[in-house]
Amino acid sequence: MQDSNRRSFFKYMALLGMVTFSATPLLAKSPKKQFLYQDHPKDGKECSECLQFFPKTNECRIVEGSISPHGWCVAFSKKP
């Protein structure tokens, strides 16, 4: 009987951990230097065409600070 209580406890804790992690937004951003950010395009690629870029606020999901729509970094990922 004690074994089933123990098993239930660990199942509950695992579920609690998954719910907590999935409900926590991952908002950590990194410095521009880490992503080799530059204020000009590279090979025709620029932030305005990237999935991570928010044009209304000139912000990026992963790079700190104000971002130029004409900038570029190594995390560039073209919008579909």
pLDDT tens per residue, range 11-40 = 777 766 665 555 555 567 899 999 999 999
Q: Name the pTM for this structure.
A: 0.65
Boundaries of every domain in the chain: 2-60
Q: List, in sequence order, the alpha helices (H) in the chain.
A: 2-23
Using the predicted structure, report yes or no on whether residue 1 has a pLDDT greater than 70: no
Which tokens sit at 14? 């695992």
Non-local (6+) Cβ contacts of 62 within 8 A are 29, 30, 35, 52, 75
